Structure 1
Amino acid sequence: MPAIKAKYILILDFEATCGEGIGNHNQEIIEFPIVVVEIATLKVVDEFHTYVKPTTQILPFCTELTGITQEQVENAPPLSQVLPQAEAFAKKYQHSVFVTCGDWDLKTMLPLQTERENLSRDSVFQQWVNVKVAFNDTMEGARSKQNRAKGMKGMLNALGLELVGRHHSGIDDSRNIAKIAIELIKKGYVFRVNI
């Protein structure tokens, strides 16, 4: 499959139910954000954002970590409605690739929940770039273990960027990851999409 330079990067960072008694296999997506960066201009050109109603209650630990309350998700649509909306949104941006901070969002979380709920998952969600890998490939000295990307906050610090908003808010984290990706592009990293 040939790879071409992406025209857009779609930054995604889910938030999910968490807390005591909720194992990774039982987590549910509760925030679904996508931030679109146009590579030619290095500008954020669009956003998709919604909370997602889980089948379980939001635990206090989860609210403390993410800022997401039960009231915010109570009237939100379920993943079965959000997923087609997010797919349609993403498909507007031809020659794009998702960018995540780690592989959990699209390698683990979305496949587990869609399988559990018997939802079809479009191919648009089946390839992505882990921004930590892009960071390590781009930054001088990041190939040594002590200088590798340790997370979003570490990458922001290494690039001299400020964390804006609330850490572990999906939309705020997506915006911060977008800033990292933009800086990596400025340093010569090329995001590619397989066609």
Structure 2
Amino acid sequence: MLFPEWFETKHINVKDEFGEWRGVKRCGMAKALDHLGMPLVGTHHRGIDDARNIARIVQQMLPDLADSAAEQRGAHRGGRSSLFRAYGCAASGSSLR
């Protein structure tokens, strides 16, 4: 499987992105789920369960970030949310494939 070059060198700190997105202090996964009114599924600190829960958080964030990025792009040519800037994605929220 081929990955874009940026895939190996950049990451998203979901804690920071979530805090910026919700306008709250940086928090962990369990607190972020609580902010969203979502239950923690599985066992906290079990790798696969944490990964799935973090994915659920990001799924909640992406639609708003894509809308925000599209608005910014209209107002400021090339503007993107920090989440999309981190991965070099188009403001429309293009796939990370």
TM-score, with structure 2 as normaliser: 0.61
Which whole-Å CA distance do the structure 1 matches of 2:88 and 2:63 have between them? 22
User: Which of 29, 34, 37 is equivalent to 1:160?
Assistant: 37
User: Structure 1 stretches of 5 or more lacking a match?
Assistant: 1-87, 98-123, 143-147
Q: Which residue of 1 aligns with 2:13?
A: 130
Residues 16-165 of structure 1 aligned to structure 2 (within 5 Å): 91=2, 94=4, 124=8, 126-139=9-22, 141-142=23-24, 148-165=25-42
Structure of greater Rg: 1
Q: Which residue of 2 aligns with 1:79?
A: none
Q: Deviations over 1:38-64 (max 9, x none)?
A: xxxxxxxxxxxxxxxxxxxxxxxxxxx
User: Which of 56, 67, 73 is equivalent to 1:179?
Assistant: 56
Q: Deviations over 1:142-190 (max 9, x none)?
A: 1xxxxx1321000000011111011111111000000000111133265
Structure having the higher helix fraction is: 2
After superposition, the Cα gap between the structure-2 partners of 1:95 and 1:134, relative to the gap in structure 1 and judged at 3 Å, is: farther
Q: Is the 8 A contact 2:19 2:27 kept in 1?
A: no
How far residue 95 of structure 1 moved from its aligned partner, in angstroms, is 8.2
Aligned length: 72
Code of the aligned partner of 1:165? G
Code of the aligned partner of 1:167? H
After superposition, the Cα gap between the structure-2 partners of 1:158 and 1:95, relative to the gap in structure 1 and judged at 3 Å, is: farther
Code of the aligned partner of 2:11? W
Which whole-Å CA distance do the structure 2 matches of 1:96 and 1:179 have between them? 23
TM-score, with structure 1 as normaliser: 0.33
Q: Deviations over 1:63-99 (max 9, x none)?
A: xxxxxxxxxxxxxxxxxxxxxxxxx5xx45x5885xx
Runs (4 or more) in structure 1 with deviation over 3 Å come to: 94-97
Which whole-Å CA distance do the structure 2 matches of 1:137 and 1:149 have between them? 8
Code of the aligned partner of 1:186? P
* Identity value in percent: 33
